[in-house]
Amino acid sequence: MTKAQVKPRSIMLSKRANVFYLEHVRVMQKDERVVYLTETGEAIERFFNIPERNTAFVLLGKGTSITDAAARRLADANVLVGFCGSGGSPLFSATDYTFLAPQSEYRPTEYMQAWVKAWFDEPTRIAMAKQVLRKRAEWTLDAWSDNSELLKRKISLTDDLLRRFDNEIDVADSCQGLLLAEAKWAKALYAKLAQAVKAESFKREEGKGAAESVEDRINGFLDHGNYIAYGYAATVLNGLGISFSLPLLHGKTRRGALVFDVADLIKDAYIMPAAFLAGAGKQAQRDFRAELIETCQKQEVLDQLFSFVSKLA
């Protein structure tokens, strides 16, 4: 094999640094690279490189297109491609998230086999769901305790809240019971963050798309941040070869529900605080997205998710 034919080695999925959200661009292959072309109308076209072998996933928003050659090269580098609406919100609904997973016959099988075996045994499945919720609380406590902006506003997770959530997880004997405990937990976190930014009238409204008030902006950032979390979750599950269709908590009728379960591990810890602070500070979407991705990279979110989900399986 000649030197020109040798493919560069991809970085492990759990260590990849890049996440892209693109609007109004054309993604293509050029000179053995994946690039995107901006639609500026200028005489000179500007191409920007996507280092696919160090990229976890790419989100294509409004007004984007991708060539078959670029899609093939991204798949070869095991990069997930997701389609979403403007600002990271879905095109069709707030609960229908679509990712194109690279087709590969060489992904691991042991995690999927172990997951299926556990999934069909209800007590085991419930026990796994409880582990997910407890890890979610643990990561949230660590992240909030290290968030200088929340600490400045005297916002923290109280022992009483953590103890109550743990007790509700412990006594729950069904998926419905765990979902009820989760709903109470999320409501308490929303209340604390709303208090932190003086948005006491906040109410979670997915896919609203308005920006008239602080509450509207927070909801918009939550939608956008959640979609990034789904990208990380889908990357992990695809890398481990576990089907999105075998959820632990979320609706059994939604094909991608396991993506939601895994994404929830990081949403409380990182997405929610970032969205509330950005909404209160009238931050631009681009700045919010860049800061959130930088935080996830700094906290090694992909590595943490890969490690936990593989052990869970």
Q: How far is CA 34 from the centre of its chain?
A: 23
Judgement on whether residues 152 and 189 belong to the same structural domain of the protein: yes
Q: What is the pTM of this model?
A: 0.84
Cβ atoms of residues 121 and 258 within 8 Å = no
The residue with greater pLDDT, 45 or 1, is 45
Residue 268 forms part of a structural domain = yes
Residue 92 lies in a domain: no
Instruction: Spell out the alpha helix ranges (H) of the chain.
Output: 68-76, 110-119, 122-145, 148-152, 159-171, 175-196, 214-240, 257-266, 272-280, 285-298, 301-312
State phi, psi for 228 to the nearest 5 degrees: -65, -40
68 and 192 both lie in a single domain: no
Task: State residue 253's pLDDT score.
Answer: 56
Per-residue pLDDT, 41:
64
Whether 97 is in a domain gets the answer no
**Confidence band for 94, pLDDT divided at 50, 70 and 90:** very low
Do 121 and 62 lie in one domain? The reply is no
Same domain, 115 and 79: no
CATH number at residue 277: 1.20.120.920
Give residue 51's pLDDT: 93
**Structurally, how many domains does the chain consist of?**
2
Planar angle of CA 163, 166, 171, nearest 5 degrees: 125
Structural domain includes residue 94: no
Those residues with Cβ within 8 angstroms of residue 21's Cβ, 6 or more apart along the chain or in another chain: 58, 59, 61, 88, 228, 289
CB count within 10 Å of CB 217 equals 23
| Residues contacting 40, CB < 8 A, separation 6+ | 46
CATH number at residue 74: 3.100.10.20
Buried b (16+ CB within 10 A) or exposed e, 79-115: bbbbbbbebbbbeeeeeebebbbbeeeebeeebbeeb
**What's the residue count for the chain?**
313
pLDDT over threshold 70, residue 34: yes
Mean pLDDT of the chain: 86
**pLDDT tops 80 at residue 3:** no
Query: What's the confidence (pLDDT) of residue 47?
Result: 87
The answer to whether residue 79 sits within a structural domain is: yes
String of b and e for 163-199 (b: at least 16 CB within 10 Å)? eebeebbeebeebeebbebbeebbeebbebbbebbeb
In this structure, the answer to whether residues 164 and 50 fall within a common structural domain is no
Nearest to 58 by CA among 87, 20, 99, 5: 20
177-192 residue pLDDT tens? 999 999 999 999 999 9
Q: Is 91 a member of any domain?
A: no
User: 137 pLDDT exceeds 80?
Assistant: yes
Do 16 and 145 belong together in one domain? no
The answer as to whether 159 is a domain residue is: yes
- Residue range 97-115, pLDDT digits in tens: 556 666 666 677 899 999 9
* Residue 214: how many other CB atoms lie within 10 Å: 19
Q: Per-residue pLDDT averaged across 163-171, rounded?
A: 97
Let me know whether 66 and 119 are in one domain.
Answer: no
Pair (124, 250) in one structural domain: yes
Last residue of a domain, one of 67, 83, 99: 83
Q: What is the mean pLDDT of residues 140-145?
A: 96
Classify 208 as helix, strand or coil: coil
Q: Are residues 163 and 36 in the same domain?
A: no
Range of the domain at 159: 110-312
Give the contacts of 101 (CB within 8 A, at least 6 positions apart): 80, 234, 238
Question: Do 209 and 133 belong together in one domain?
Answer: yes
Is 105 inside any structural domain? no
Indicate if the pLDDT at residue 92 is higher than 50.
no
Same domain, 235 and 271: yes
Q: Are residues 211 and 175 in the same domain?
A: yes
Partners of 36 in beta bridges: 27, 48
